[in-house]
Structure 1
């Protein structure tokens, strides 16, 4: 049940802290407020009793009944004689009631009793005697609100406002902590896709500022190293291909034996292919600007190119939506999957493309020997080959690694699955972006 995001967790913890603090504050307020309120209530009740005592002492016995009626009608104070058969309901067993009982006993005498109702009549009932040595006892009935503990409404309003304000501050604190971390997570995902992220703002708290600065420096170093590597490999490629071209010309012109000549030319072409694969893997694709492109047209072009090579590629493509992508890189990835299918034992290759759940799925299906499920993830790593019938042809082990990098560059993925009719189903999935 614990939320997964840092923002929600931090806010929940701060809100819980605020709630517990507010509850503790209210409990402490009620505890501290009980004694002075009990003393005040007892003082008011004792004053009323003493006033009644003085009035009754001053009045003649035959006029006391009229005085009772006068108190009831004009002052709202009811006086009733206490009877032994009175049905008394005691007040709740609370600390406030005990304090009130103690204060009244100290002011009116140890025989003082308090009750919540007498003979079914609710109120704040206080017993007293006109004299300590007098056995006759009376009930003074005051409104029940006098003995009730009610926190004032303005306290509740201010407490609620303070709680809401504290929650707002807690949300502000949590969001200020999680916002730069979310931005850093997005930048890290961009680095994982081979892109150069936008520099993070280096402001805010010192720890977050230092973290953003270190991340920006790391991203700059990675971009610089990637650029240096591309330049070095481009230079190596140029330096190697020039003598390879001369060797091929010399072989075709100088070697009379046709078989030997073809063997040397084949070796030279294989070396050139290896250099091309190294360049494809090492090349940074961030240099190609994403464009809104028509994948249906790209697939049609790939099919025509396969036809020029004498390969029959069956293409089934629905009407695909326009999407933002790097067309050269995406065409290279699809071409690698098709070349792998022909190269590793397939006699029939088909291509299916469709839009499914905001994704474009491009599937290359062949009837070759396939790939064991346990070897799929390993074969996506560079310089990895499978030692079975599917690797009879030569290669560097970079084809699937190149496709995997291009898929991640587009925010998609590469899945290698068994084909329904045997062989391999290579699925390249890329999200639809506008």
Structure 2
């Protein structure tokens, strides 16, 4: 479980302990907390029940002990002196009651000092007298031992009587334990069902949010159920509708911008070329116009959002060769290292745009007189396209920032043009494919920009992120 903390504020030890112990999902957090509450409640209920049940139980056991002692005393008093031994043997055989004469040298162990035993001792002594003694062991025999006198005033005519342990102990302890565990299991099952029922609307919202994040319009959420959930579902549905209308308006605006901006640029370029100005000035002005056109193209590409083009089987090697050919015709030194053919599921148009952006970036920052290396091949479940240049590269601590729009490295790439959208567009294209963009340093200087497409044919698969150079395909250049 992760907590959102104020920047710079370290979590407290208790918070860190909870974060380490509790699972990450709301379902299991709720279930464990409810289960803990049930266990504590059951434990407290058991203690309360025992506290109020022990006096009644002690009175019943004490009455049974007193009855056995009184009956035994009466039997011994009324029996003939010669038949007392036979009577003692018969009581032990039939009732499990052992009776032995008490002596001053008897070795005994007292009963455990517990509340039930204290209540029992007080109740028995109140009826038999304060001279009554109790023991948990007499000599070598364990049991519940009680002393009694044939005559309360005769200290020399005293006996020990041992009662079977099952008569003293609560006979339904195991039953109570079984029923308590059964009730706890039923309560925890109910807690799990309740937590699962509470988390289901949140899981639906999470799935719908992921669809919105990928540029799709999810089906409306069910707005029935508890008031709080219904309010969230209604707000989410309203947000989804607003986003869909915004996307429609954006597409309409972009269609107009593409025409209204590029048409004047085309006329301006034509006018510059026919102006009769010196060739050096014409070349500089045409270069500026082309750069403006590229910037407008980047804005339009970024503004279009996630491409809606359906995925299909694409020969990546053929696509790379088609993109590289115009650059070679311009005199760019482009070296390809590719297999004969390599097919994966992709959106061809957006993939072309992403690869062209990487090549343009490499030429802009490394220079058109430097060689570019493009490597295509499978690696670790991905189809990878690597564009390697000999430019200034990107510092490791700046890589993540460079994935954001309108971001440039002013120190490392100071005299460059562009709007800072090239890598942001590539990043968005790769996310729409379920892949990733790796930006790694190149041995000997430069940048390795690698497009990694899932090779399993599922553009929506989650790409595994690798942050080290060894995790990406590399070739010696």
* TM-score between both structures, scaled by the size of structure 2: 0.81
Q: Which structure 2 residues correspond to residues 98-113 of structure 1 after superposition, within 5 A?
A: 98-113=118-133
Which of residues 51, 57, 80 in structure 2 aligns to 1:37? 57
Contact residue 320 and residue 360 of structure 1 kept, 8 A: no
Aligned mates of 1:350, 1:183 — CA distance in 2: 45
User: How many angstroms apart in 1 are the aligned matches of 2:307 and 2:261?
Assistant: 25
- Where does structure 1 lack aligned partners over 5 or more consecutive residues? none
Work out the CA distance in 2 between the residues paired with 1:415 and 1:55.
98
Structure 1 residue aligned with 2:261: 240
Q: Does 1:53 align with 2:76?
A: no
Cα 1:49–1:371 shift into 2, 3 Å: closer
Structure 2 residue 381 is matched with structure 1 residue 358: yes
Confirm whether residue 218 of structure 1 aligns to residue 276 of structure 2. no
Helix, strand or coil for the counterpart of 2:335?
strand
Number of residue equivalences: 433
Aligned to 1:409: 432
Q: What are the residue-to-residue correspondences of 1:71-110 with 2, within 5 Å?
A: 71-110=91-130
What does the per-residue CA deviation read over 1:296-354, in whole Å, with 9 as the maximum and x for residues that have no partner? Answer: 44333323443344434222346897544322112211110011111223311112234
Seen in structure 2, the aligned counterparts of structure 1 residues 133 and 420 have a Cα distance that, compared at 3 Å, is: same
- Pick closer, same or farther for the CA change 1:221–1:415 going to 2, 3 Å: same
Taking a change above 3 Å as real, the CA distance of residues 77 and 275 of structure 1, as seen in their structure-2 partners, is: closer
Q: Which moves more between the two structures, 121-130 or 268-277?
A: 268-277
Cα distance in 2 for partners of 1:294, 1:176 equals 46
Equivalent in the alignment of 2:406: 383
Match of 2:299 in 1: 278
* Distance in 2 (alpha carbons) for counterparts of 1:20 and 1:47: 40
Structure of higher RCO (CA pairs closer than 8 Å, 6+ residues apart): 1
Unmatched 5+ residue regions in structure 2?
1-19, 459-477
Q: CA deviation at 1:388?
A: 5.3
The root-mean-square deviation of aligned C-alpha atoms, in Å, is 2.9
Q: Distance in 1 between matches of 2:49 and 2:402?
A: 69
Q: What is the correspondence of 1:239-388 to structure 2 with a 5 Å cutoff? A: 239-248=260-269, 255-256=275-276, 259=279, 265-317=286-338, 323-346=344-367, 347-387=370-410
Q: How far apart are residue 170 of structure 1 and its match?
A: 1.9
* CA 81–340 in structure 1, closer or farther in 2 if over 3 Å, else same: same
Larger displacement relative to structure 2 (389-398 or 157-166): 389-398
1:155 is matched with which residue: 162, 166, 176? 176
User: 1:173, CA displacement in angstroms?
Assistant: 2.4
Tell me the distance in 2 between the aligned counterparts of 1:200 and 1:38. 62
Taking the aligned partners of 1:294 and 1:199, their CA distance within structure 2 comes to 37
C-alpha change, 1:309 and 1:149, in structure 2 (3 Å) is farther
User: Contact (CA 8 Å) 1:319, 1:354: kept in 2 or not?
Assistant: no
Verify the 8 A CA contact 1:345 1:390 in the aligned structure 2.
no
DSSP 3-state at the match of 1:287 = coil
Change (3 A) 1:74 1:233: closer
Partners of 1:187 and 1:312 in 2: CA distance:
47
- Matched residues in 2 for 1:146 and 1:57: separation? 25
Give the drift of 1:165. Answer: 1.3
Of residues 31, 34, 39, the one that matches 1:19 is 39
In the aligned structure 2, how far is the partner of 1:153 from the partner of 1:321?
Answer: 70
Give the secondary-structure state (helix, strand or coil) at the position aligned to 2:437: strand
User: Whole-Å Cα distance in 2 between the matches of residues 305 and 69 of structure 1?
Assistant: 116
Whole-angstrom CA distance in 2 between matches of 1:40 and 1:323: 83
Deviations along 1:79-128, one digit per CA (max 9) or x if unpaired, are: 22111111112221111111111111112121111211211112221111
1:28 partnered with 2:48:
yes
